[in-house]
Amino acid sequence: MAGGRSSGRAERPSLRDACLAEALAIIEREGVESLSLREVSRRLGVSHQAPYRHFPSRDHLLAEIVAGAYRAFVAHLEARPRTGGAQGDLREMGRAYLTYARAHPLQYRLMFGTPLPNPAEHPDMMRHAERAFGLLRDAIAELPSTEGARDLRATHLDALFVWSTLHGLSSIMSSDALDTVDLDDDLLEAAAAETLRRIGFGLRASKSD
């Protein structure tokens, strides 16, 4: 009987998970500058020392949040449709990137617009970040080339070109900057497709120089 009664109750999140959720809520409402372990414990109604059982410092808490954002981002990129061709797959990765940035603006801002904790002290955070860049790099390395195997340095330069272009569009689309210009809604909707088309053209043109 006791087992039956307890199975009907929703399980309370662990203190660790509660800290992560509350920290993310603080960042969303008030910005990352307002995040502290003391504030997290106050809002959860626990002792000031309780969060330290799971997070030695504020930076460890923030690094775990950022690592989670990168994990979700990587999973989203990996779940993109496959076209059976290198160029099509890269285009779908670009679409997935823009979709994630639009659907998860807070997590996107944490990954690419927030001063991060010291990478040397938080290798797990960096491992997921490097995985995200590695997906893009590997997709570019698969593109056909008339020059044989792609040089690693050139592949990295191409990856930075693609990343900076997608990040620029994502940042503009999520900011108030568009309110300062008079653009039709259909033009904004076409911006993503046109950007991806021009990225493809830019990558092809760079190989013919």
Helices and strands of the chain, counted as H and E runs = 9, 0
Position 8 pLDDT exceeds 60: no
Q: What sign has the CA pseudo-torsion 54, 58, 64, 65?
A: positive
Q: What sign has the CA pseudo-torsion 11, 37, 35, 54?
A: negative
Report DSSP state, residue 51.
G
Distance CA 100, CA 55 (A): 28
Quote the mean pLDDT of the chain. 88
For the entire predicted model, the pTM comes to: 0.85
Position 124 pLDDT exceeds 70: yes
User: Of 49, 5, 40, 1, whose CA–CA distance to 21 is shortest?
Assistant: 40
Position 198 pLDDT exceeds 80: yes
Other C-beta atoms lying within 10 Å of the C-beta of residue 80:
19
Position 25 pLDDT exceeds 70: yes
Other C-beta atoms lying within 10 Å of the C-beta of residue 50:
16
Position 117 pLDDT exceeds 50: yes
Q: Which pLDDT value is given to residue 146? A: 55
